[in-house]
Structure 1
Amino acid sequence: MDYYLIVTVLVFLSATFGYINARFIKLPSTIGLTVITIVFTFFIFGLSYFDDTLLNAERYIITQIDFRTVLLDVMLSFLLFAGALHTDLQQLKALRWPVLLFATFGVLVSTFLIGGAVFLMLPLIGLEVDLIYCFLFGALISPTDPIAVLGILKKAKVPEKLEMKIVGESLFNDGVGVVIFLTIYGLANGSNPEFSLLSVLELFVIEVGGGVLLGAFLGWLTYKLMKSINDYNIEVILTLSTVMTGSAIATYLHVSAPLAMVVAGLAIGGQKVRKHAMSEQTQNYVDKFWELIDILLNTILFVLIGMELLVLDLESEFIVAGLITIPIALICRYTSLLIPVNVFKKKLDFVPYTSLIMTWGGLRGAISIALALGLTMEMQRDLFLVMTYVVVIFSIIVQGLTVGKLVNKLR
């Protein structure tokens, strides 16, 4: 089966499941697609007792797709650019310091809190794992997923000021989370023998700072090019070129491509920049094009998340560990938010229960699964992959369906 046929199957399943959700179930798209795909996968499992043709075909598709590479190296840049393009830059500027603290200090604290708690929890169910590997799990599960967050918050009617904090954090903390993950990964597998605080700081500055600077340059360059012409066809292609070329350059320079695309999207999508660089017709075409890209990739992505169930080693101890990790992850996230929220609460007039709503509304998603798939067997890949999947599915379905109700109740 060639890649064109695999993509065709995925698009067909995405369209079919999307139609079923829109026509009958009517859940938010990310939640509905995940639920339907999981149900479909279990149906295939049941059918395999009589005929395993469909099960083998679905497994073949999953084994042919490098989910980690597809998401982190391809889809993520497009999705983050699309999300940033429709984010109000002026509002985000007003919240830049708390967002920065949430995306750096918050992720770092959460990483070590979750890692330490999981290290203490696993022996209670008969599983022994080295502390460094538990910290690795803490790093991959701590970042909130902008793809899941952006899709669900649109329908949750979260207060606008609070929504901007959650969205801003989720746009930036995945890039920071990946840097933390890669640093601990290098220490865990011995590929970084000269590990020190200075080397960590150097990696952070290069990856994060380099990504931000590259994104700012790409955004400025694209703005100048779009301002010099008035042709919506070419201007749409310019934005597409920014993402594709920018991602390739970021990979070559070993800086964070996701952060570069977030900054570029914010730079191009700001209201002031739009008015100077794009006509109303161009703005309409650019917005519609990236909305379509966002919807298409999101649809395929959450179908893939549901299908990843086929690659899991569903040992009972692994599932129990995942279920226990759900409250651990929530409590650790809430704790990691306390200092940033209290520092800025009075100055920026935070809404009541900000920490609670950001905890429940900070969804985990595909990025965590992609990072877990990159673990080696020595790093307890099967265990942490199941734990990650359990936390992510709970996050998308349970938290995603109830965050709006929580907000209304707290009002």
Structure 2
Amino acid sequence: MLLLKEVGGALVLALAAGIVTYQMLKRVDNYQVEVLLTLALAMGVYALADALHLSAPIAVVVAGLFVGNRGRAFAMSEKTREHVDTFWELVDEILNVVLFLLIGLELLVLPLKREWLMAGALAIPIVLSARWLSVAAIVGPLGRVTTQAKGAIAVLTWGGLRGGISVAMALSLPANDSRSLILTLTYFVVVFSILVQGMTVGRVIRMTSGPTATVKSSHGS
């Protein structure tokens, strides 16, 4: 019931706020005001969801998807879309920098025990195995009814990078011994994901798809 309340309530709140913002965007043709409306939507929905004990991240994501798709297509001019995109790209870059700065500072105060380091090393293959099982459980049966790219399961498994969001979720936990352990495990998985998986995903694609495959790789947090 708690899950249904947090997720279902967040969806209802996000759609309601998204529809209101969409209607406001349709009635305004001023990019400064429209950019501020999108900012107010993100901050307002998060604060309201948190106050109502709903899932604030889900609420913001759903509201963003609604306005970012329907609102962007039907309620914004080309000039407004350009400014909205530029504004949120800048916000994204700034927050990523702040997040990874906090990640680095957290490493300075994170207590590293020998047992935790061993657990962190074990967490990497466990996470990769879980990723493989989840991908194979979906892609495998689909391969019987649709054509799948060669090596799709291997590429999707190795390309499942972890980054800032994983660390941010771990950092949001209340301070206790369990939090420090979870942070240690998360750091191990994220660092391995970025440094090893991220730098070798192109090679994995070439190995699984053949020597003539064209590789397009991108990195995100």
Q: TM-score, normalised by structure 1?
A: 0.47
- How far is the alpha carbon of 1:395 from its aligned partner? 1.3
Counterpart of 2:64 in structure 1 is 265
Amino acid corresponding to residue 356 of structure 1 in structure 2: A
- Work out which of the residue numbers 25, 36, 40 in structure 2 matches 1:226: 25
Counterpart of 1:212 in structure 2 is 11
Amino acid corresponding to residue 109 of structure 2 in structure 1: V
Counterpart of 1:293 in structure 2 is 91
**Structure 1: which 5+ runs fail to align?**
1-201
Instruction: Note if 1:340 corresponds to 2:138.
Output: yes
- How far is the alpha carbon of 1:245 from its aligned partner? 0.6
C-alpha distance in 2, partners of 1:348/1:305?
42
- How far is the alpha carbon of 1:215 from its aligned partner? 1.8
C-alpha distance in 2, partners of 1:408/1:219?
42
C-alpha distance in 2, partners of 1:205/1:350?
35
Tell me if the contact between 2:99 and 2:168 (Cα under 8 Å) persists in the aligned partners.
no
Select the structure that is richer in helix. 1
Instruction: Note if 1:237 corresponds to 2:19.
Output: no
C-alpha distance in 1, partners of 2:81/2:206?
34
- Work out which of the residue numbers 106, 112, 137 in structure 2 matches 1:314: 112
Task: Give a deviation string over 1:256-298, Cα, whole Å, max 9, x none.
Answer: 111111111111122x542321111001000100010011111
Counterpart of 1:73 in structure 2 is none
Distance 1:370 1:293, change over 3 A: closer
Q: CA RMSD in A?
A: 2.2
Structure with more relative contact order (C-alpha pairs < 8 Å, separation 6 or more)? 1
Counterpart of 1:274 in structure 2 is 72
Q: TM-score, normalised by structure 2?
A: 0.83
C-alpha distance in 1, partners of 2:178/2:42?
35
- How far is the alpha carbon of 1:347 from its aligned partner? 5.2
Runs of 4+ off more than 6 Å: none
Amino acid corresponding to residue 244 of structure 1 in structure 2: M
- How far is the alpha carbon of 1:228 from its aligned partner? 0.9
**Structure 2: which 5+ runs fail to align?**
210-221
Amino acid corresponding to residue 249 of structure 1 in structure 2: L
SS in 2 for 1:323: helix
Distance 1:212 1:326, change over 3 A: same
